[in-house]
Amino acid sequence: MTFFWRTSIFLFAVTLGTTVAASQAPRVANPAEWTVMVFMNGDNDLEPFAVDNFRQMARVGSTDRVNIVVQFDRLSADNHFTTPDWSQTLRFRVTKNMEPIPSEALEDIGEADMGDPQVLQAFVTWARGKFPAKHYMLVIWDHGQGYRDLKEQRLHNVKRQQPASATVQSGQSLRRPGSYRTISEDVTNNHDKLYGSEIQGALKNSLGTDKLDVLGYDACLMGMVETGYSIRSFARIMVASEELEPKPGWNYEYWLAPLVQHPETTPAALGKILVEQYARYYAPGSEVENSATTLSAIDLSKMDEVAKATSVFSEKLISTLASGKVAIQTARDDCQEYAAGSQIYHIDYGHLLESLRNASTSLEIKAEAQQLINLLSSAVIANYAGSDRQGDWGSTGLAIYFPKTLTLYTDDPYAENGYEKSNTFMPVEFVQKERWTDFLHAYWKAIQ
């Protein structure tokens, strides 16, 4: 069976849109238990899968206790995935057996740029205002590439590179990531996309002092320390994949049905349901069977502690490089990369630490690696990895960026200076505030 993956290819991007004022969702006497907000960007090659996912939602439908709210952008009006076809951006409250067509929409907002953070901000503000609830979940639905979300390649005179495709297991051809790390590619709007820092800004402006209960990335490669760190102030639980996602993505019927049946479900429990149902969807013998899939639910209240412990460990590794670099190199060589062969350089953080603990001769490094392993484990509420993403991948729940050598880092076509503290263009917060990048640069220099 052939599978295709939720990664992205683009040429350039621009930012369009108008400023949207920050607001809080109103408090009402009898709010729903949950409002699930899906920012569904089907304005790209994932369009037919967006229609499929919408219909999965409609097989469940909203109730008086659970709202399913979708902002849906499509690529063109001539693909015949619906009758009638349409290409603009529509907002829906999804009801039982609803079709994703204009006559069923609550609002037609024209052609919205789903790569514009103000559009994301406006949707969250609108959904929370119109459908107040005790708990809120936001799903960002589209392509994804991890810690670095590039939006304006036009600003950089960098040659676009397209890595060759490869096969990770029999019968599964991959469509490799294109230039840079991205999420929410809007083809109609000059292939515009969102940076992680822009997602941070959109959430800050739309939530105020509130937090989402769950933020889900139905997209490739977003299950990273860097990504979780970036949204720790805006959400309680993150659900994301360390590995590429197949184009079918999540099965929305599978996890929305239990939520509608039990609207009292807690955020942590919903995170577990999402992971369990993803594992069910891609399980051996299923229609979309895929053993190279991963998904995890992360307690974001632990991300500050994980990051600070990583900084302390990084400092210790730097100070002991002369005697410890061989063990680090052995541990890194023991780790397989997600999106293998695509110059993404994401590896499972827990597996790296386990390998370093085993390879190091320093009792202090062994002890500190184990402490970090325990801390990471406490942050992972639920974790799934198909049989082909265990072993040397580890897939314990969170990935981290780690090219093997300085040359690979320097030649990384997607890094775009994101792992430089000196970078000021859409800087990555984890890179700017923590010491992991300092360790990487010191290590690369030490092994030259």
**Residue 372 domain-assigned?**
yes
For tokens 């061989």, what's the residue? 326
Average pLDDT over residues 218-237: 95
Position 171 pLDDT exceeds 50: no
In this predicted structure, which of 17-21, 426-430, 437-441 has the lowest mean pLDDT? 17-21
Cis peptide, bond prior to residue 263, ω within 30 of zero? no
| Model confidence at 373: pLDDT above 80 | yes
C-alpha 429/C-alpha 216 separation (Å) is: 19
At 378-411, the pLDDT tens digits run 999 999 999 999 999 999 999 999 999 999 999 9
Among 24-38, 44-58, 65-79, 431-445, top mean pLDDT goes to 431-445
Mean pLDDT of 303-320: 98
Give the pLDDT of residue 195.
83
Question: Do both 155 and 231 map to the same domain?
Answer: yes
* Residue 63 tokens, joined: 């109730």
206: in domain? yes
Token pair 């040359």 is at which residue? 407
Tell me what the mean pLDDT of segment 40-60 comes to.
Answer: 91
Given 301, 332, 348, which residue is the final one in a domain? 301
Higher per-residue confidence, 377 vs 80: 377
With a pLDDT cut of 90, the percent of the chain lying above it is 70
pLDDT at 185 over 60: no
More confident residue, 139 or 10: 139
Q: What is the mean pLDDT of residues 2-15?
A: 40
Of the two residues 140 and 176, the one the predictor is more confident about is 140
pLDDT of residue 330: 98
Q: Report the alpha-carbon angle 438-441-447, nearest 5.
A: 135
Number of domains the chain is built from = 2
Q: Where a domain ends, among 260, 282, 301?
A: 301
Longest dimension (CA), the chain: 68
Whose structure tokens read 């429990």? 269
Q: pLDDT-derived band of residue 174, with 50, 70 and 90 as boundaries?
A: very low
For residues 219 and 142, is the Cβ–Cβ distance under 8 A? yes
Between 321-333 and 349-359, two packed helices, what is the crossing angle to 10 degrees?
130
Say which residue, 424 or 152, is predicted with more confidence.
424
- The mean-pLDDT minimum among 113-122, 231-240, 306-315 falls in 113-122
Q: Yes or no: say if 194 and 183 are a contact pair by the CB < 8 Å rule.
A: yes
Measured between alpha carbons, how far is 238 from 222 in angstroms, rounded to an integer?
Answer: 10
Residues 125 and 180 in one domain: yes
Q: Do 324 and 276 reside in the same domain of the chain?
A: no
Structural domain containing residue 426? 304-446
| Same domain flag for 259 and 314 | no
Which pLDDT belongs to residue 176?
A: 33
Contacts of 447 (CB under 8 A, 6+ apart): 325, 329, 405
Question: Rounded to 5, what percent of the chain is helix, strand, coil?
Answer: 35, 20, 45
Same domain, 385 and 276: no
Q: Which residues are within 8 A (CB) of 143 and not within 5 positions of it... i.e. 6 or more apart?
A: 6, 7, 8, 44, 46, 182, 183, 184, 185, 219, 220
Q: Which long-range contacts (CB under 8 A, 24 or more apart) does 258-261 make?
A: 259/34, 259/36, 259/66, 260/60, 260/61, 260/63, 260/65, 260/66
141, 243, 248, 368 from 50: Cα distances, Å: 8, 20, 8, 44
Does residue 6 form part of some domain?
Answer: no
Q: Which of 16, 52, 51, 53 is nearest to 36 (CA)?
A: 53
Percent of the chain exceeding pLDDT 70 equals: 82
Q: What residue ranges in 241-315 does DSSP mark as E strands? A: 294-299
Residue 26 lies in a domain: no
CA-closest candidate to residue 192, choices 56, 3, 8, 421: 8
406 and 354 within one domain:
yes
- Taking alpha carbons only, the member of 387, 374, 339 closest to residue 174 is 339
Confidence at residue 164, expressed as pLDDT on a 0 to 100 scale: 29
3-state secondary structure of 190: coil
pLDDT value, residue 90? 97
Last residue of a domain, one of 269, 301, 333: 301
Do residues 70 and 212 both lie within one domain? yes
Mean pLDDT across 182-211: 78
Straight-line distance from the first to the last Cα atom of the chain, in angstroms, rounded to the nearest whole number: 43
pLDDT of residue 166: 29
To which H or E segment does residue 185 belong? strand 183-186
* Model confidence at 157: pLDDT above 80: no
More confident residue, 28 or 34: 34
Mean pLDDT across 202-206: 96
CATH number, domain containing residue 250: 3.40.50
What pLDDT is stored for residue 29 in this prediction? 56
**Is residue 246 within 8 Å of residue 3, measured between CB atoms?**
yes
- Residue 117: its pLDDT value, please? 92
Residues 95 and 236 in one domain: yes
pLDDT at 416: 78
188, pLDDT greater than 90 = no
Q: How confident is the model at residue 153 (pLDDT cuts 50, 70, 90)?
A: very low
Give the contacts of 266 (CB within 8 A, at least 6 positions apart). none
In a domain, 433, yes or no: yes
Query: Nearest 5°: phi and psi at 246?
Result: -65, 155
Q: Are both 248 and 314 inside the same structural domain?
A: no
For residues 333 and 219, the model is more confident at 333
* Cα 215 from Cα 116, distance rounded (Å): 18
Residue 213: pLDDT above 80? yes
**Residue 223 resides in a domain:** yes
Identify the burial level of 365 via C-beta atoms within 10 angstroms of its C-beta, where 0-12 means exposed, 13-18 middle and 19 or more buried.
buried
Amino acid 25: pLDDT: 47
Number of other CB atoms surrounding residue 357 within 10 Å: 19
17 in a structural domain: no
C-beta separation of 132 from 170 below 8 A: no
Q: Residue 268 — left, alpha, or beta (φ > 0 → left; ψ -120 to 50 → alpha)?
A: alpha
Q: Are residues 373 and 336 in the same domain?
A: yes
Q: Is 250 within the bounds of a domain? A: yes
Same domain, 56 and 205: yes
Same domain, 223 and 311: no
* Range name among 67-81, 172-186, 214-228, 351-365 with the lowest pLDDT average: 172-186
